[in-house]
Homo-oligomer: A and B are copies of this chain.
Amino acid sequence: MKSLGLVGLGQFGQLAARHLKTHFDVVVTDSAADAQARASELGVRFSALEEVARCEIVVVAVPVVAMRAVFEGIAPHLQTGALVIDVGSVKMLPVQWMGELLPPHVNLVATHPLFGPQSARNGLAGLRFVVCPVRGDRHETVAAFGRSLGLTVTVTTAEEHDREMAYVQALTHLIGRSLVNIGIPDEQLKTPSYQHLLELCGLIGADTFELFTAIQTQNPYAAEVVTAFVEEARGLLEQVGHTRPKS
């Protein structure tokens, strides 16, 4: 089995470790205090960043905000011909950073698994996995591996990914988080429309504010879309006379 170093044991890193450990010789690292215990629970080996970075495949599964520092940290240790993959929920910024910070002798593939522990709780079949070629042709191997896990794989550019995700992610996470925060109840008299809102809350409710912030701020197209939605909603409320003094 090829060696695979996984940087990051957050919610997604843990899910990844569970699915990757049967296909690769996995070694993980994470700076969290309980990371060694998590690795032990997952049945994967824990080591220092330096060793993880020397694997044939290095998967970076840290929040986008922490990714730049991880690329800088692994850069000196990467082996010639190694493959570096990120799994961030935006793609233009990680692609830019990988290109700038990682040495020319490594292959680069950017990915976005459009799922998490909630949506993958019944398995990976049919879940979407986006693969963006960055440097070299290893994106083909990554796409084929995704398909072998049952994932629906889309190969596209980082720009097209982020443009679509401004709607698919930034807007859904803004609406879902707002609904969760105001505490929408599971009413008896619900309609199919309301059921869609309740299910959106179920899918998004457990995501961290860190992920929310990343989705909203690290996609260059997000601000325009979410602001347009909120302005449209405010405009509609003004049209029907629902205005109140702003603090």
Residues of chain A having any CB pair with chain B under 8 Å: 114-115, 119, 128, 130, 154, 156, 161, 164-165, 167-169, 171-179, 181-182, 184-185, 187-194, 196-197, 199-200, 203-204, 212-213, 216-217, 223, 225-230, 232-234, 236-237, 239-242, 244
In the complex the two chains form, is B179's CB within 8 Å of A164's CB? no
Given A175-B197, A242-B223, A192 and B184 touching (CB < 8 A)? no
Residues of the B chain whose Cβ atoms lie less than 8 Å from the Cβ of A196? 172, 196-197, 199-200, 203
Sample (21) of A-B pairs whose CB atoms are under 8 Å apart: A128-B191, A164-B188, A168-B187, A171-B184, A171-B197, A172-B196, A175-B197, A179-B229, A181-B232, A182-B225, A182-B228, A182-B229, A191-B203, A193-B204, A196-B197, A196-B203, A213-B240, A216-B242, A217-B240, A226-B242, A230-B237
Do A167 and B191 contact each other (CB < 8 Å), given the known contacts A179-B229, A216-B242? no
Q: Do the beta carbons of A114 and B182 come within 8 Å of each other? A: no
